[in-house]
Amino acid sequence: MDFEHDLRASVRTIPDYPKPGILFRDITTLLGDARAFRRAVDQLVHPWAGSKIDKVAGIEARGFILGGAVAHQVSAGFVPIRKKGKLPHTTVRIAYSLEYGIDEMEMHADAIHPKERVILVDDLIATGGTAEAAVKLLRQIGANVVAACFIIDLPDLGGAAKLRAMEVPVRTLMAFDGH
Ligand code: AMP
C-alpha cells in the first residue's frame, strides 16, 4: 500500500545509536513531513474514531508530540506521563526496569478520573517495559485503558504481545525486525 510505503520511508534508521548494535528508529523525519505526520495521527486513532475518548496519555518525550496531536484529533484531553520529579502537583508513581537498573515515571494524581476512557500513546514499543508501567500507572488511578498506540512495533522484542496479555488492544502502524 502506498500509504504504508510513504510512512515507512519517512522513518530514518540510525545504526549504532545510542550504542553499538542498536538500530535507532528516528521519527523526527516523519514528524517533519507534513503528510506523513498527519497520516500517522489519522491512522493511529482510526479504530477509535467513532468512540468517546476522555483522555490521551503520552509518554515523555516523543509520546507528547504524537499524543498532543492524537488528543486534538479525537477531541480528548492530554495527560503527560513523565520521568520522576518533573510534575509540580501531587503525583502517582511507578518504578520499572530498564536495561541497566530501574527508573520511575509519574503522572498527576488528579489527571484522570476513575473509569475515564484513555488511549496511551508513544512512538515505539520494544520490550514493552515502558508501556506496561504506564498502563499499570493509569489503572492504579482507575483509568479504563481502551488502547495503546505506537507508530513502530519491534515485534521480536515482544512488547505488543505483553500489552495484549494485559488485555490492552494495541495499534501499531509498521514493524521492523530485530531491535
Ligand atoms: P521499551 O520499554 O523496551 O518498549 O522501549 C520503549 C521506549 O524506548 C520508547 O519510548 C522508545 O522511544 C524507546 N526505544 C526503544 N528502542 C528503540 C529503538 N530501536 N529506536 C528508537 N527508540 C527506541
Atom number in ligand 1 closest to CA 122: 10
Atom number in ligand 1 closest to CA 127: 3
Ligand 1 centroid from CA 124, angstroms:
6
Tell me the residue length of the chain: 179
pLDDT of residue 4: 67
Identify whether the C-beta of residue 51 lies closer than 8 Å to the C-beta of residue 119.
no
Ligand 1 centroid from CA 88, angstroms:
26
Identify whether the C-beta of residue 42 lies closer than 8 Å to the C-beta of residue 151.
no
Query: CB within 6 Å of ligand 1 — which residues?
Result: 22-25, 59, 62, 122-131, 159, 179
Q: Is the pTM of this model over 0.95?
A: yes
Q: Which domains does the chain have, with CATH numbers?
A: 50-175 (3.40.50.2020)
Q: 3-class DSSP state for residue 42?
A: helix
Atom number in ligand 1 closest to CA 129: 2
Identify whether the C-beta of residue 105 lies closer than 8 Å to the C-beta of residue 133.
yes
Ligand 1 centroid from CA 10, angstroms:
18
For the chain, what is the mean pLDDT? 95
Name the pLDDT band for 150 (thresholds 50, 70, 90): very high
* pLDDT for 59 beyond 90: yes
Which range has the worst mean pLDDT, 14-23, 95-104, 107-116, 137-146? 95-104
CA distance 126 to 178: 10
Instruction: Select from 130, 153, 179 the residue to mutate for testing ligand 1; criterion: most ligand atoms less than 8 Å from CB.
Output: 130
* pLDDT for 142 beyond 80: yes
pLDDT of residue 104: 97
Among positive and negative, which fits the CA dihedral 23, 59, 78, 115?
positive
Identify whether the C-beta of residue 130 lies closer than 8 Å to the C-beta of residue 122.
yes
pLDDT of residue 123: 98
* pLDDT for 1 beyond 60: no
* pLDDT for 41 beyond 70: yes
pLDDT of residue 69: 98
Residues 6+ apart with CB under 8 A from 106: 81, 82, 83, 84, 85, 86, 87, 91, 92, 93, 94, 137
Alpha helix positions (H), the chain:
2-9, 28-31, 34-45, 62-73, 129-140, 159-165
Which residues are annotated as catalytic? 62, 99
Ligand 1 centroid from CA 50, angstroms:
30
Instruction: Select from 23, 81, 98, 124 the residue to mutate for testing ligand 1; criterion: most ligand atoms less than 8 Å from CB.
Output: 124
